[in-house]
Structure 1
């Protein structure tokens, strides 16, 4: 049973639609007590990382999320919230994964935001079980998580390599939107829902 952290900074409709298609039961996490109702937690997110962090702090859920020992998946801005700091709003984030979130460099001749389908190459990780490497996933973001071989479980390239997915202990993050990435994205959500710790 998946709990979706409901803090006003996520496009929850696409995610809940994907979970319904997969027959994965879910509910909303609004309070600390709600975290206990679910075996797996997803932190969705769209928009501005600094604003999203403020909204998450207002819920009182930051400390309880950091203390979780069950599988947690951050999607897009939800993944960025797991990092230490974002250049977006010069914001300190949850600091679960000790890496930085940075703005893409326009000087590399790339369009910002990075929007559309992009291949990822992934490591052998349960989150990507049954997903071929070089599979395409759907991205929409202007900020990226710097590549770090310790935590990186999938890499994409947009003017430079960046982390498409990270893992630290029971915390996972994906920069792309699995709920908008067709069959491969649905497989990833299914894999997440099956993770055992």
Structure 2
């Protein structure tokens, strides 16, 4: 099994790589699609804003490549949001792999904006990334925008209402939280992605 981390030039690439290396993986950091041609699966990390991240993906050729990709793909945090059709953050078109639009999170009475800290995972349907993870397990979130808990949300959390925590459509899945910063639970989720059947 070979794995490529898509180089989005964002701050969490190193921590994602280290988390994967702790699991025995040897990921390639791929600045262009050609650098990931031999990979069996792909991870799209991201922190920051949707507009600059999409601009980088467009400039590198990754945006077009991902729109026609069939290999297993896991988006992390902003990387998950980029899987959707568009984002109100920067009012930008995204990859369009999952229907829906990213909107500003309204935390209501649950806390400050942005959502930053540990929160519970609540399973709404079978999700391979959750194998061996108990419903109610806590993971670490940092985000001010979110995907509403629509038909492709396989796991939710609650922060001012239901928020997509894991989304899946076909070969593409995404975690709104940071598994690389979520201890043993996050490590298990990454391991499940590494071990998923292609």
TM-score by length of 2: 0.95
Shift of 1:32: 1.9
Other-structure match for 2:87: 86
SS of match in other structure, 2:37: helix
Contact 2:179 2:185 in 1 (8 A): yes
Matching of residue 135 in structure 1 with residue 128 in structure 2: no
Determine the C-alpha separation between the residues in 1 that align with 2:168 and 2:109: 28
Residues 7, 59 of structure 1: 8 Å contact kept: no
Q: Residues 107, 186 of structure 1: CA spacing in aligned structure 2 closer, same or farther, 3 A cutoff?
A: closer
Q: Which runs of 5+ in 1 are unaligned?
A: none
Tell me the secondary structure at the aligned position of residue 88 of structure 1.
coil
CA RMSD of aligned residues (A): 1.3
The number of equivalent residue pairs is 196
CA distance in 1, matches of 2:74, 2:175: 8
> Would you say the 8 A contact 2:121–2:135 is kept in 1?
yes
Output one character per residue of 1:92-140: Cα deviation in whole Å (capped at 9) or x when no partner: 1111101111111255563011000000112322111000111000000
Is contact 1:9–1:55 with CA below 8 Å preserved after alignment? no
Deviates more, 1:75-84 or 1:120-129: 120-129
Query: Which stretches in structure 2 are left out of the alignment for 5+ residues?
Result: none
**Using the alignment, how far apart are the partners of 1:67 and 1:113 within structure 2?**
32
Pair 70,104 (structure 1): closer, same or farther in 2 beyond 3 Å: same
Alpha-carbon distance, 1:33 to partner? 1.4
Query: Equivalent residue for 2:174?
Result: 173
Q: How does 1:105-184 map to 2 (within 5 A)?
A: 105=106, 108=109, 110-122=111-123, 123-148=125-150, 150-184=151-185
| 1:77-106 deviation digits (Å, cap 9, x = unpaired) | 000000111111111111110111111125
Q: Give the 3 Å change call, closer, same or farther, for CA 135–32 of structure 1 in structure 2.
A: same
Contact 2:104 2:144 in 1 (8 A): yes
2:51 counterpart SS class = helix
Task: Identify the residue that residue 102 of structure 1 maps to in structure 2.
Answer: 103
2-side partners of 1:168 and 1:112: how far apart? 28
SS in 2 for 1:37: coil
